A and B are shown apart, each in its own frame.
Chain A
Amino acid sequence: MPARENILARIRAANKVANVTDVMDSSVADRLASPPISPLPKLDWDPEGQFKRRCHESASTLDEIAQIDELPLALTRYLSKNTLPTKLVCWPEFIDLPWSAEGIQIESRGAIGDDKVGLTGSYCAVAETGTLVLLSGQESHATTSLLPETHIAVIRRSRIVKTMEDAWQLIRGEVVSLPRQVSFISGPSRTADIEMTLVYGAHGPFRVHVIILDQ
């Protein structure tokens, strides 16, 4: 692989010529072994309040439930209020809830092009920016939050962390190795590529509905 060796050699030569002094105290090995946290902004809010505020700003809608059993009813409420289809695709963790009682047809599988509503959980959420953190995997299909026009996500209250740094801390502690994709989702898909006019539903969901679960 000559390109690789040539490039690395050129980098070393360039850094030698430039003769820069490293501004960091920690060495490369230390930085990788225990990554330092850079200065944070003032985080003088309660995480849940901030998360809700940011969700609202990024055009997500919000609901809260005390127990997971209440999810079918909460969904019915949301779907009928927005006159959305009652046929859903979801992550496996939700399939055993009493859906038929609410007249909701639900399937546990990855989404395909025709699915209109997708229901997912979330690994955690970042309050600072109102962001859902989803990890792809066998039990957490990436397509469910991507292809349907409506994405409904359940987040446990206890999993709302303050910052992205906190999310990494959580992941480092709980996840053996990073999944194929870590998705940070903050509201519905949007674009302003035509005359700076904000339009929702560019390629991803038109709507994101966040349900905070007490546990």
Chain B
Amino acid sequence: MELTSHQFKSVSSAKLKDVKLQKALYKAKDGFVVPRAKVVADLDNFEEIRQAAADVRDHGLAHLDVYLEEWEKQAQAAGTIVHWAESYEELNALVVKIAQDNQVKKIIKSKSMVGEETGLNQYVEGHGIEVKETDLGEYIIQQAGEHPSHIIAPATHKSKDDVADLFAEKHQRPRLDDAEKLTHEAREILRPHFLDADMGITGANFMIAETGSTVIVTNEGNGRMTTTMPRVHVAISSIEKCIPTLDDFALMMRLLPRSATGQVISNYVSMTTGPKRAKDNDGPVEFHVIILDVGRTRVLGSDLREALRCIRCGACMNHCPVYQNVGGHAYGWVYPGPIGSVLTPAYNGIENAIDLPNAATLCNQCGVVCPVKIPLPDLMRKLREKQYERNLKSSAEKWSLRLWAYLALRPKLYSIVTRIMARVGKLLGGDSRRINHMLFGGKDWTRHRDLPAPRGRTFRDIYLNRNKTTNR
């Protein structure tokens, strides 16, 4: 996917003014935050469980080479054909080659964020092969020619009316106006494709080393369809999705649906191990898994490695005050919200996503809901440090900080300057006791809000004088 994170400022400003988007975001926020809180409270030892999950992820990452080799061994024993890819082009080309080798004309696809990273659909279609997204949200944005704005609810930026207009146009049918009818129309349109597609592509929420399995977690059933109906199934995943055992998977499943959609469990958890067995009546004849490493190993060897624990639940974005107000597209790449603000620069280069780690209040609403305890604000701060080291900070910010630091390290001067500022500030505030127009850096404050005026004297001034008086 093309990276547009450098436009964060202008895009986010436009998104704030987009009334329809704001309505959709408002709905999505309550739709995610409230149910999550309810089902998390239902676990008496949520904190203990999420610590265990973080530990399992750390352990898996610390021995990732061994677990991947074990996964591969088990997968191959079950008849899975395993591929590895070091670049987006390599993964895309592998998918096309598998399709061509099997005379594939139509592909049905279940949602994959790795596929979004590699721009898979466009690439495959460029080779004359039809690709149908089947997750309802993905289907909607594919029809609209857009990108997902959320990792588990890709069309969350679209209103029901948007979808109604889109379907009426694309399906050439009378316009429908309710979510149920629209969903069922999509079901009706997509059903024949499930039945006659030659190949299915899915992502993989997890790869389980113990058994060589891949797992997808869905609510709609499109994942089961995609892994069962076509004669070829290709799962695309990335190295960090590998976890050790089935019991570790059970642990993750106690957290993923709760954190993602506020469900105790998602409707369909489908674990695939190899292709159709000789006597099976259904399932694909060939099962391929492509394991990607773009950026992952670089992050693994860096101080951002905790980000690789991510199980893609989306809770961080659902709870982020910035995401809640600007939506996912402003972030300009596959992963929005706090995890995106870490992964986007980590995978694409710090200099290509300068705004993202800075466009956060570091409120840690993300960190406390993360089911695998990724310290997201700390990671964003580390990225800011790297920007600073590489001189990628704006000169205005750098100089104002330097000036501040110069004063703060010189207490005598500091006390004189702040004494003057308190006095001048009080004068500027006047009778209203608020300043509504500042210059330089301050104008970005007063463009949006007043500044309560200083009271004329600093604390230090009052307190030290008071003590002098009493001591006399």
Does A142 have its Cβ within 8 Å of any Cβ on chain B? yes
Contact between chains at B266 and A186 (CB < 8 Å): yes
Chain A residue at smallest Cβ distance from B305: A18
Stretch of A19-27, A68-76, A97-105 lying at the B interface: A19-27
Chain A residue at smallest Cβ distance from B54: A23
Query: Which B residues are CB-close (under 8 A) to A83?
Result: none
Does B101 have its Cβ within 8 Å of any Cβ on chain A? no
Does B339 have its Cβ within 8 Å of any Cβ on chain A? no
Does B246 have its Cβ within 8 Å of any Cβ on chain A? yes
CB distance from B151 to the nearest CB of A (A): 13
Chain B residue at smallest Cβ distance from A184: B269
Contact between chains at B247 and A38 (CB < 8 Å): yes
Chain B residue at smallest Cβ distance from A111: B282
Other-chain residue from B59, B155, B195, B224 in contact with A183 (beta carbon distance below 8 A)? B224
Contact between chains at A191 and B69 (CB < 8 Å): no
> Known contacts A183-B270, A190-B219: does B191 contact A28 (CB below 8 Å)?
no
Complex alpha-carbon distance, A3 and B291, angstroms: 10
Other-chain residue from B62, B85, B154, B277 in contact with A138 (beta carbon distance below 8 A)? B277
Please encode chain A, from 48 to 79, with 1 for each CB lying within 8 Å of some chain B CB and 0 for all others. Answer: 00000010011000000000000000000000
What are the 3 tightest A-B residue pairs by CB atom distance, in nearest-first order?
A204-B221, A14-B301, A196-B31
Query: Which B residues are CB-close (under 8 A) to A4?
Result: 84
Does A95 have its Cβ within 8 Å of any Cβ on chain B? no
Contact between chains at A204 and B280 (CB < 8 Å): no
Complex alpha-carbon distance, A184 and B219, angstroms: 11
Query: Which A residues are CB-close (under 8 A) to B191?
Result: 113, 203
Contact between chains at B248 and A194 (CB < 8 Å): no
Question: Which of B128-158 touch A at CB < 8 Å?
Answer: 134-137, 140, 153-156, 158
Contact between chains at A181 and B300 (CB < 8 Å): no
Does B253 have its Cβ within 8 Å of any Cβ on chain A? yes
CB distance from B32 to the nearest CB of A (A): 8
Contact between chains at B297 and A197 (CB < 8 Å): no
Contact between chains at A180 and B283 (CB < 8 Å): yes
Other-chain residue from A141, A165, A194, A202 in contact with B221 (beta carbon distance below 8 A)? A202
Query: Which B residues are CB-close (under 8 A) to A188?
Result: 267
Total count of chain B residues near the partner, CB < 8 A: 108
Other-chain residue from A22, A109, A113, A196 in contact with B62 (beta carbon distance below 8 A)? A22
Query: Which B residues are CB-close (under 8 A) to A185?
Result: 267-268
Does A129 have its Cβ within 8 Å of any Cβ on chain B? yes
Other-chain residue from A11, A17, A32 in contact with B244 (beta carbon distance below 8 A)? A32
Give the interface centre of A7, A20, A128 by most chain B CB atoms within 10 Å: A7
Contact between chains at A195 and B179 (CB < 8 Å): yes
Does A158 have its Cβ within 8 Å of any Cβ on chain B? no
Give the interface centre of A1, A24, A110, A178 by most chain B CB atoms within 10 Å: A178
Query: Which A residues are CB-close (under 8 A) to B30?
Result: 196
Does A84 have its Cβ within 8 Å of any Cβ on chain B? no
Contact between chains at A39 and B48 (CB < 8 Å): yes
Complex alpha-carbon distance, A77 and B219, angstroms: 28
CB distance from A150 to the nearest CB of B (A): 13
Does A164 have its Cβ within 8 Å of any Cβ on chain B? yes
Chain B residue at smallest Cβ distance from A57: B264
Does A193 have its Cβ within 8 Å of any Cβ on chain B? yes
Please encode chain B, from 269 to 309, with 1 for each CB lying within 8 Å of some chain A CB and 0 for all others. Answer: 11111111101111100000001010001101110010000
CB distance from A48 to the nearest CB of B (A): 17
Query: Which B residues are CB-close (under 8 A) to A12?
Result: 65
Does A120 have its Cβ within 8 Å of any Cβ on chain B? no
Does B64 have its Cβ within 8 Å of any Cβ on chain A? yes
Complex alpha-carbon distance, A38 and B255, angstroms: 12
Question: Which of A24-42 touch B at CB < 8 Å?
Answer: 24, 28, 31-32, 35-39, 41-42
Contact between chains at B222 and A194 (CB < 8 Å): no
Total count of chain A residues near the partner, CB < 8 A: 77
Other-chain residue from A32, A38, A146, A179 in contact with B224 (beta carbon distance below 8 A)? A146
Does B52 have its Cβ within 8 Å of any Cβ on chain A? yes
Contact between chains at A136 and B280 (CB < 8 Å): yes
Contact between chains at A28 and B67 (CB < 8 Å): yes
Contact between chains at B224 and A204 (CB < 8 Å): yes
Query: Which B residues are CB-close (under 8 A) to A163?
Result: 250
Give the interface centre of B183, B209, B225, B248 by most chain A CB atoms within 10 Å: B183
Please encode chain B, from 147 to 171, with 1 for each CB lying within 8 Å of some chain A CB and 0 for all others. Answer: 0000001111011100100000000
Query: Which A residues are CB-close (under 8 A) to B270?
Result: 181-184
Query: Which A residues are CB-close (under 8 A) to B83?
Result: 3
Does B227 have its Cβ within 8 Å of any Cβ on chain A? yes
CB distance from A10 to the nearest CB of B (A): 4
Offer 8 A-B interface pairs, CB within 8 angstroms, sorted by A.
A3-B90, A14-B297, A110-B281, A141-B282, A168-B250, A179-B277, A181-B228, A202-B222
Does B12 have its Cβ within 8 Å of any Cβ on chain A? no
Contact between chains at B228 and A143 (CB < 8 Å): yes
CB distance from A207 to the nearest CB of B (A): 13
Complex alpha-carbon distance, A57 and B39, angstroms: 12
Query: Which A residues are CB-close (under 8 A) to B224?
Result: 142, 146, 181, 183, 204
Complex alpha-carbon distance, A128 and B269, angstroms: 15
Does A85 have its Cβ within 8 Å of any Cβ on chain B? no
CB distance from B201 to the nearest CB of A (A): 16
Contact between chains at A191 and B183 (CB < 8 Å): yes
> Known contacts A7-B86, A8-B68, A28-B66: does B134 contact A203 (CB below 8 Å)?
yes
Please encode chain A, from 123 to 146, with 1 for each CB lying within 8 Å of some chain B CB and 0 for all others. Answer: 000001111000011100111001
Query: Which B residues are CB-close (under 8 A) to A136?
Result: 228, 280, 282-283
Complex alpha-carbon distance, A182 and B227, angstroms: 11
Chain A residue at smallest Cβ distance from B183: A199
CB distance from B435 to the nearest CB of A (A): 42
Question: Which of B214-240 touch A at CB < 8 Å?
Answer: 219-222, 224-225, 227-229, 239
CB distance from B113 to the nearest CB of A (A): 16
Query: Which A residues are CB-close (under 8 A) to B137?
Result: 191, 193
Contact between chains at A35 and B244 (CB < 8 Å): yes
Query: Which B residues are CB-close (under 8 A) to A18?
Result: 300-302, 305
Contact between chains at B277 and A180 (CB < 8 Å): yes
